Amino acid sequence: MGPPVEPPPGITDARLARQIAFLLEIDQLKSVLRQSHLIDRSRRENDAEHSWHLAMLAVVLGEYAAAEVDQARVIRMLLIHDLVEVYAGDTFLYDTQAAASQAERERAAADRLFPQLPGDQADELRALWDEFEERRTPDARFARALDRVQPLLLNFYTAGSTWLPHRVSRADVLAHQKTVEDGSPALWAYIRVMIDEAVRRGYLLA
């Protein structure tokens, strides 16, 4: 992380200066690499691209939510859900060692990040982040489902480019079934067929 962002001389609106500083701080998300590759396999996806893609999944696939959802709230959750990774880093879903400390690391990052905003916005975004993490509403459950679906799609359409090097198995993927199924049974039915086909093609270990 670089030095604190100072507003240009002559800026007197403290609220706006604080909001701009936050937006510059989260620019770091563009440098946080995930394990998933782009469809063209040219490089790994970064967190900002992942969040944008998830927002588009919510726009296009909203009709498949398990219950009625507020699409705008789902999109907001998806755009902020990984902001904490500017400090906590990305945790690979199938890295059990890193996953053991993930919740603690990400809560600490949230405690540090969101208060950089003005109080009202800090409270609003933190509440959305907590809701996403806890999956306590239909909006959050659908958002969490999409967060699982997107990397599965990227893995299938890059011939297991992340699964194979990490020796991910069908059982590993199915262990996360409930997160998708709770948010969207229709998407889980689609993904289940895709997983079986991935095994058949050798993209995913049986």
Tens of pLDDT, residues 128-151? 999 999 999 999 999 999 999 999
pLDDT the model gives residue 96 = 87
Q: For residue 8, is it within any domain?
A: no
Task: Indicate which CATH number applies to the domain containing 73.
Answer: 1.10.3210.10
Q: For residue 183, is it within any domain?
A: yes
pLDDT the model gives residue 184 = 98
Q: What is the largest CA-CA distance in the chain?
A: 64
Q: Identify whether the C-beta of residue 164 lies closer than 8 Å to the C-beta of residue 43.
A: no
The mean pLDDT of 52-81, rounded to a whole number, is: 98
Q: For residue 62, is it within any domain?
A: yes
Q: For residue 1, is it within any domain?
A: no
Q: DSSP secondary-structure letter at 33? A: E
Q: For residue 5, is it within any domain?
A: no
Tell me what the pLDDT averaged over the chain comes to. 95
Domain total in the chain: 1
Domain that holds residue 96: 14-201
Q: Identify whether the C-beta of residue 20 lies closer than 8 Å to the C-beta of residue 7.
A: yes
Q: For residue 3, is it within any domain?
A: no
pLDDT the model gives residue 2 = 54
- The CA-atom distances, in angstroms, between 177 and each of 40, 127, 201 are 27, 26, 21
